[in-house]
Structure 1
Amino acid sequence: MSIIAWVVLGLLAAAFAKAIYPDYQGGGILSTMILGIIGAFVGGNLFTLVGTGTLQITAASAGLTLAGILVAVLGAIVAIYLGGLIRRSSNA
């Protein structure tokens, strides 16, 4: 997937994930895009793990399809959750 497709997928995934996730996340458009790209990477690799039973670290797991966006959104929700856990543990 090209870098432009990753940016578009990242923005879409993070925007949907931030709208779905009930906690306040903050951040601007750059952090939203990075969160979405991380979510697409995490979600795509988890989807590959569940589907094949093997962990295959690859950047081309999620694409600009409806299924790819759904997987990226789920991965972004996981990334938001893990980021919240890290922030809460560092504040305690």
Structure 2
Amino acid sequence: MATFLTLHRAPGLSPEEIAGYAPDVAEGVHARFGNLYVNTVSGFIVTVYEADDQNALEEEFERIGFPFEEIHEIDFVLDAGRLAAMVAGAAS
């Protein structure tokens, strides 16, 4: 499975409205939910999903009824631990 980051815009989306999507998101028919990051004031939303491919993720958003603006496959991840190891390696 590949990891995807998606961008959405939904100004004024409330936590209660987000909760309304929760059962469908949790069902995960075509893709598996990972994370959600939201600025409820601006409506900027980022999600992280795992799916077989981008088409499967697009089908998942269509099933849920939540539009997206962009989908990007992630091919490199850097967490704090790997960053520290990278910096330590650069200092050697």
Task: Classify the TM-score, shorter chain.
Answer: under 0.3
- Larger RCO, structures 1/2 (Cα 8 Å, 6+ apart): 2
Normalising by structure 2, report the TM-score: 0.25
Bigger proportion of residues as helix = 1
Bigger proportion of residues as strand = 2
Q: Which has the larger radius of gyration?
A: 2
Normalising by structure 1, report the TM-score: 0.25
